[in-house]
Chains A and B, each alone.
Chain A
Amino acid sequence: MAPADSGTAPAATVAEGLTQLTTHVGSPPERETPSRPGGTSGASRPAPRFPRRTRLVRLGRFEIKAAPYVFIAPFFILFGIFGAFPIGYTVYASLFDWTLLAGNQGFIGLDNYTRLFGDALFWNSLRNTFGIFVMATVPQLVLALIIANLLNRQLRARTMFRMGILAPYTTSLVAVGIVFGFIFAERYGLARYLLDVIGVGEFNWRNERLPSWAAISAMVDWRWTGYNALIYLAAMQAIPRTLYEAAAIDGARPWRQFWTITVPLIKPSILFTVILSTIGGMQLFTEPLVFNYGRIQGGSGRESQTVAMYIYERTFSGTFNVGYGAAISLILFLVIILVALVNFTLVRRSIRTTEE
């Protein structure tokens, strides 16, 4: 599913920082070029004429020690501003009776959290989030694995297929939402028509829990399956052919090869997608919002309101309750960490079993 948006920028910065670092450390001769301007670079050069020599040497040593930190500083500064500070501030805000309309009405300790644990609407949104997450993610990853495996063979027009599976990922989320909104429209929808034809019956797509979860999951999967498949495919192509040849000689059928060679060897990629899907799934917001015609409460009975939508509802409508919104955000943050850890452990264990 979605890589956390905020994650990309700092990652790029780290990469940049590292490049700068390696360039610097890896090119000591440059320092010796006498033509190089700047006071500090002269420090490493023997310069007996200068009376302040010791000071310069000390400065040079300091530079060597400090430079790495300076080079990685941009990331940490950005992370501090956009990562650590917001989290810290969320904790702070969650301890106050604070609405945008009435202003900060003072410290209330853990009252927001107490209220949260007794808030049926919050539990409802958490339940929806989990439900949609499970319904969307499990088929999505399994399907991605199968697709990747198929694409990893000798196929006609292979590149076209490989590009094709990524196409949904490049479409606008809102466009996806609108189109799926039509497919799952109550009265004139394609889904209703098709289910009618095969005699399954009618579903109230927005006002019943399971149908609305299924519709939203379909939307999520349509968009993210190809993306995950491509990650798996990249990992699969790094597996040496010889392993398969050896297995074939030992008499392993393709299915056996898939489970005992492919899956264990792409385990790091699987774990990666599991973590990303967990984060994305727990933060699900746009799909259910657009699916419900932009109604933040997600269905007449809040059948598909996710936690992220509930946070938005509390924080940006009604009384604009920033303190309460912060409390829910923080709990969601903890839930994501917890669920990601659990999933990580589960997947790692289950794949190791196959390996042994």
Chain B
Amino acid sequence: MSVGTIRTRMIVLGTAALLVAACGGDDDTNTGDGPGTNDTVAEDDDTPQENEQAEAVTLVLQTFGDFGYDAAIEEFEELNPHITVDHQRMGELRDFAPQLAQWIAAGSGAGDVVGLEEGILLQYIENPDGFLDLFEYGAEELEGVYLDWKWERGITEDGRLIGLGTDVGGLAMCYRADLFEEAGLPSDREEVSALWPTWDDYLEAGRQFRDSGADAAWLDSATGVVQPYVMQNSDVFFYDTDGQFIGDTNPVFREAWDFGLNLAEEDLTAGLITWSDEWTAGFQASDFATRPCPSWMTGAIEDRAGDAHAGAWDVASIPGGAGNWGGSYLGVPAQTEHPQEAYELAKFLTSPDGQLHAFEAMGGMPSSLEGLSDPRFTETTNPYFRDAPVGEIMAATVTELEPIHLGALHQQTWENVFEPAMQRAEAGTESSDDAFQSAVGEAETLQ
């Protein structure tokens, strides 16, 4: 309720920031230690029996949401008996991100390994001083393990690697097979995928669906198509590589904006705000027939649509062929006292094996090539979605994806500025052009 609290927090972190200045010397020493420690541990790796003599170390791992790491951590501790992992779950991302920012600025409080959601990583990529350059601890060995775009996104402009990819959000199109059938559209997932190789085909199928007199909208909201559309068709989004805002001039973004709002104009969208309670109610009331869904959203759909709709939803490929939405990284804050061990932990958790553990626990899709082609992943089917081979469908969309430059403010620009503006235009409270212009004006004040 009170600004007092916020102000106090701000002050506390301000104070903490002052302390950073005092602790600055320590940080430098730590970083200086890096390569030296590197050598010793590298020896350890060659001669595993020495591990037992190594000093006991406790590593703090901080993640948000649920990374599904329990099994992976157990295995890591077995392989490294001298290391204990204290896994601290920090709640939702929106609580964790501000805390982490304060700890990084303060120079203490952050774990030895921290989970970085994509949008957060993008911010630290442009302000990387709080994180270790993992190349200094031997991360060159990992080149080629991950999807190219995932790997490159963790590297700063001056060539420092601050994040190792955990999962990716391969995109598919979730659809209501039962509603498709009623509307006279094919309902088999292969045929549905064949129905919409491109976004224009998707629009056309939507028209057919609408004209069949179906009692549901074609998709939940116009905003859902923008991210996949732009990522498939452009190598920049809102910001160019110099950090300049180009949302107003990027033709692909405007195309995606217009395409989404055209769907709304054609009366194909339900106008529901993603993640709102209304959206949840929409799932239960069968208000819409399709929804672009990243791999991690299948669980969210299952939760919202509930048992009543088990077997109604199915998964087909996304129009346009490729796409990614979200996914996370692990980074090692520079304030850690055990940089080499922390790197080893991050490396293990993001290894194909670690990722498959996480996939089995929570459904996060591997970001390593080996993980993506492993039968443990590809042969998994999802019973809620009519036994759809979710892994197989989604793996294709992330391997085909080209790297795209997003920039530090990407997530905020989309979620806080353009997405709401698009919702206004969709709801008809503002014209498409007005909403676009006011969003451009707002985005320019973000920096």
- Tell me the A residues contacting B by CB distance below 8 Å: 2, 4-6, 82, 85-87, 89-90, 92-93, 98, 100-104, 119-121, 173, 178, 181-182, 185-188, 204, 206-208, 280, 283-286, 293-297, 299-302, 307-308, 311-313, 315-320, 322, 325-326, 329, 332-333
B142 contacts the other chain (Cβ, under 8 Å)?
A: no
CB distance from B438 to the nearest CB of A (A): 8
* Contact (Cβ within 8 A) A293 B275: yes
* Contact (Cβ within 8 A) A326 B10: yes
The stretch from B352-360, B363-371, B439-447 touching chain A is B439-447
The stretch from B60-68, B376-384, B423-431 touching chain A is B423-431
CA distance A178 to B4 in the complex (A): 24
| Given A85-B11, A93-B14, A320-B98: A300 and B424 interface contact (C-beta under 8 Å) | yes
Residue of A at shortest CB range from B422? Answer: A300
List of A residues within 8 angstroms of B101 by Cβ? 100-101, 316, 320
CA distance A92 to B17 in the complex (A): 13
* Contact (Cβ within 8 A) B4 A90: no
B313 contacts the other chain (Cβ, under 8 Å)?
A: no
CA distance A89 to B184 in the complex (A): 66
CA distance A61 to B353 in the complex (A): 77
Q: Which residues between 388 and 447 of chain B lie within 8 Å of chain A, taking CB atoms?
A: 408-409, 412, 416, 420-421, 423-424, 427, 429-430, 441-442, 445-447
CB distance from A279 to the nearest CB of B (A): 9
5 contacts between A and B (CB under 8 A): A5-B4, A101-B408, A285-B6, A299-B420, A300-B420
B244 contacts the other chain (Cβ, under 8 Å)?
A: no
* Contact (Cβ within 8 A) B424 A293: no
| Given A319-B408, A322-B13: A300 and B127 interface contact (C-beta under 8 Å) | no
Interface centre among A2, A101, A284, A312 (most CB of B within 10 A): A101
* Contact (Cβ within 8 A) A322 B10: yes
* Contact (Cβ within 8 A) A329 B423: no
List of B residues within 8 angstroms of A295 by Cβ? 420
* Contact (Cβ within 8 A) A317 B421: no
CA distance A89 to B94 in the complex (A): 26
List of B residues within 8 angstroms of A317 by Cβ? 97-98, 412, 416
* Contact (Cβ within 8 A) B105 A207: no
* Contact (Cβ within 8 A) A300 B427: yes
List of A residues within 8 angstroms of B17 by Cβ? 98, 100, 103-104, 322
* Contact (Cβ within 8 A) A100 B104: yes
Residue of B at shortest CB range from A296? Answer: B416
CB distance from A315 to the nearest CB of B (A): 6
B308 contacts the other chain (Cβ, under 8 Å)?
A: no
* Contact (Cβ within 8 A) B423 A300: yes
List of A residues within 8 angstroms of B15 by Cβ? 89
* Contact (Cβ within 8 A) B3 A285: yes
Nearest 10 interchain pairs by C-beta? A300-B420, A86-B11, A316-B98, A101-B127, A300-B423, A100-B101, A100-B105, A6-B4, A318-B412, A283-B3
| Given A86-B11, A89-B14, A318-B446: A2 and B277 interface contact (C-beta under 8 Å) | no
List of A residues within 8 angstroms of B127 by Cβ? 101-103
* Contact (Cβ within 8 A) A301 B416: no
List of A residues within 8 angstroms of B408 by Cβ? 101, 319
* Contact (Cβ within 8 A) B8 A2: no
Other-chain residue from A100, A101, A121, A185 in contact with B277 (beta carbon distance below 8 A):
A185
CA distance A178 to B129 in the complex (A): 40
| Residue interface bits B222-258, CB-to-A below 8 A is 1, else 0 | 0000000000000000000000000000000000000
* Contact (Cβ within 8 A) A185 B281: yes
CB distance from B243 to the nearest CB of A (A): 11
List of B residues within 8 angstroms of A332 by Cβ? 3
- Tell me the B residues contacting A by CB distance below 8 Å: 1-8, 10-11, 13-15, 17, 94, 97-98, 101-102, 104-105, 123-124, 126-127, 129, 273, 275-278, 281-282, 285, 408-409, 412, 416, 420-421, 423-424, 427, 429-430, 441-442, 445-447
* Contact (Cβ within 8 A) B416 A188: no
* Contact (Cβ within 8 A) B424 A301: yes
List of A residues within 8 angstroms of B94 by Cβ? 294
Other-chain residue from B10, B123, B285 in contact with A93 (beta carbon distance below 8 A):
B10
| Given A85-B11, A100-B102, A322-B10: A5 and B420 interface contact (C-beta under 8 Å) | no
List of A residues within 8 angstroms of B424 by Cβ? 207, 300-301
| Given A297-B416, A332-B3: A82 and B104 interface contact (C-beta under 8 Å) | no
CA distance A301 to B427 in the complex (A): 11
CA distance A312 to B10 in the complex (A): 10
CB distance from A192 to the nearest CB of B (A): 11
Residue of A at shortest CB range from B427? Answer: A207
List of B residues within 8 angstroms of A185 by Cβ? 277-278, 281
Interface centre among B1, B94, B97 (most CB of A within 10 A): B1
* Contact (Cβ within 8 A) B11 A285: no
List of A residues within 8 angstroms of B275 by Cβ? 293
Residue of A at shortest CB range from B426? Answer: A300
| Given A90-B11, A185-B278, A311-B6: A101 and B1 interface contact (C-beta under 8 Å) | no
Other-chain residue from B6, B98, B276, B430 in contact with A329 (beta carbon distance below 8 A):
B6
CA distance A134 to B420 in the complex (A): 26
Residue of A at shortest CB range from B15? Answer: A89
* Contact (Cβ within 8 A) B427 A204: yes
List of B residues within 8 angstroms of A286 by Cβ? 1
Interface centre among B8, B104, B124, B430 (most CB of A within 10 A): B8
* Contact (Cβ within 8 A) A329 B278: no
List of B residues within 8 angstroms of A178 by Cβ? 277
CA distance A82 to B6 in the complex (A): 12
Residue of B at shortest CB range from A314? Answer: B446
Residue of A at shortest CB range from B287? Answer: A187
* Contact (Cβ within 8 A) B11 A100: no
Given contacts A5-B1, A185-B277, 4 further A-B contacts (CB under 8 A): A101-B127, A204-B429, A300-B421, A315-B6
CA distance A294 to B278 in the complex (A): 13
* Contact (Cβ within 8 A) B273 A293: yes
List of B residues within 8 angstroms of A293 by Cβ? 273, 275-277
CA distance A85 to B98 in the complex (A): 22
